[in-house]
Amino acid sequence: MAFRGRLDTANDFMLHGWAHSDDLPDLPVHIDIVINQKLACKLLADCYRPDLEAAGLGNGRKAFWFNPSEYFTEVENLVEVYFSDTDQLLDNGRKIIAPLSAKGDDSLPSLVSQAKSRWRGDEPDAGLTWGSIMTGDSFFDEVEKHFQFTAYTRILEIGPGYGRLLKTLLDRGHPFASFCGVDLSKARVDKLRRQFDDDRIRFEIGDCSQYKLSQSFDIGLCSATFEHLYPSIEQTLVNLRAQIDLNGMLFVDFIMHDENLSLSRAYFEEESIGGAYIRIYSLQELEPLFNHAGFAIQAAHPVVLGTGLQGETIRRMLICASARLLRRAKAESLMD
Ligand SMILES: C[S@@+](CC[C@H](N)C(=O)[O-])C[C@H]1O[C@@H](n2cnc3c(N)ncnc32)[C@H](O)[C@@H]1O
């Protein structure tokens, strides 16, 4: 068999790459993930990636994502990715990963920009929430159990979209000192600036993985957005932790595939339905991701955001996390 493939990204939480057979170009290929010389997983590389289709690799369903963290037993872990049942490694397929310290060699800047491209546009409001306009009521029902708003509260919202959460915050009459909404889309930020005329409220164009606020915040809110951050939420969490006050809290909802949040998966949607990057996190991967960034998960609440255009119930898992003290080494690295 003539195989081709590459391990593009390798870090604590993600092994990502692609595998292809020139002999059977339209069929997906199995790979073997071997960690510290033991077979961790046999995986079908069948996730869609638009750049692979554009490169002529069959139908583009050739990518794989895998979270290796639970297989790490050593300070330095040897990861090898083979075409299944062969001794042929993928290109770049042998890596040493040291948990907590390793940074991925993300060699795919085009995918970073592909993952953002849908959100930079100006699609109709309902398109941002499953084809229906929704409120933030179920989200705030849970937030209110953990956080007391005061006249001094400084709020950050990531990806405010059409202002769904902010409208509920105002409708419920919560006090606050300032609200900053950071969104990738200039068109949406322009609309939000026109819609909310209040001295305490402002909107900025920015990417949540890098955006620096002019002041720290006490509560961070984010709905229906973290699953679109490529390749993972890790960088955004670290960026937010560096700007939140110590007693601050973060409320973020995630795709709830099942009640236990047991599924881990990542893929790009087909261009014809928006081309978005979607990552489904398991609770097992969310806990260390929050923890390493300096947050402690306090609770996970299932919430129903509303009903989509096709009549489907939109179930999410709302993670409530508090900023925790960082160990010295981590705190120093955040200040770099
Ligand atoms: C699916 S919509 C959800 C909108 C809103 N949060 C809601 O639930 O009603 C995702 C929103 O996040 C924004 N977004 C996506 N990636 C972002 C990023 N990296 N930084 C800031 N905003 C982002 C999009 O522009 C969009 O407004």
Average pLDDT, the chain: 90
Using alpha carbons only, give the angle 60, 61, 64 rounded to the nearest 5 degrees: 120
Cα of 179 to ligand 1 centre, how many Å? 16
Residue in 302, 138, 161 with CA at minimum distance from that of residue 228: 161
**In the listed set 43, 76, 106, which residue is the last one of a domain according to the structure?**
106
We report the CATH number of the domain holding residue 19 as 2.60.40
Specify the 3-state DSSP secondary structure of 153: coil
Query: Per residue in 174-217, pLDDT tens?
Result: 999 999 999 999 999 999 999 999 999 999 999 999 999 988 99
Give dist(CA 292, CA 298) in Å, integer: 15
101 in the same domain as 69: yes
pLDDT of residue 101: 41
Ligand 1 atom closest to 134 (CA): 9
Q: How far is the CA of 7 from the centre of ligand 1 (A)?
A: 29
Question: How close is the Cα of 134 to the center of ligand 1, in Å?
Answer: 15
If asked whether residues 63 and 208 sit together in one domain, one would say: no
- Atom 1 in ligand 1: residue holding the nearest Cα: 128
Give the residue whose CA is nearest to atom 14 of ligand 1. Answer: 159
Task: Give the three-state DSSP class for 80.
Answer: strand
Counted domains in the chain: 2
* Spatial separation of the C-alpha atoms in residues 302 and 260, rounded to whole Å: 10
- For residue 48, give the 3-state DSSP assignment: strand
C-alpha angle 295-67-78 in degrees, rounded to nearest 5: 110
Q: Which residues line ligand 1 (CB under 6 A)?
A: 119, 128-129, 158-161, 164, 182-185, 188, 207-209, 223-225, 228-229
Other beta carbons within 10 angstroms of residue 322's beta carbon come to: 18
Ligand 1 atom closest to 157 (CA) = 6
Atom 5 of ligand 1: nearest residue by CA position: 161
Ligand 1 centre to CA of 229 (Å) is 10
Is residue 112, in this structure, part of any structural domain at all?
no
When pLDDT is averaged across residues 83-104 and rounded to a whole number, the result is 80
Tell whether 200 and 289 lie within a shared domain. yes
Last residue of a domain, one of 106, 140, 162: 106
Cα 59 to ligand 1 centre (Å)? 29
Given 82, 106, 130, the domain boundary residue is 106
Per-residue pLDDT band at 327 (split at 50, 70, 90): low
**Does residue 98 fall inside a structural domain?**
yes
Give the model's pLDDT for residue 109: 65
DSSP, res 120:
G
Residue 317 exposed, middle or buried by CB count within 10 Å (0-12, 13-18, 19+): buried
Output the CA 160–ligand 1 centroid distance in Å: 6
Positive or negative CA dihedral for 230, 70, 82, 60? Answer: negative
Please name every residue paired with 257 in a beta bridge, in sequence order, or none if there are none.
none
Please compute the mean of the pLDDT values over residues 73-99 and round it to a whole number.
90
Residue 108: predicted pLDDT:
58
Cα 25 → chain centroid? 31
Q: How many CA atoms lie within 13 A of 115 on its CB side?
A: 24
Report the nearest-CA residue for atom 19 of ligand 1. 207
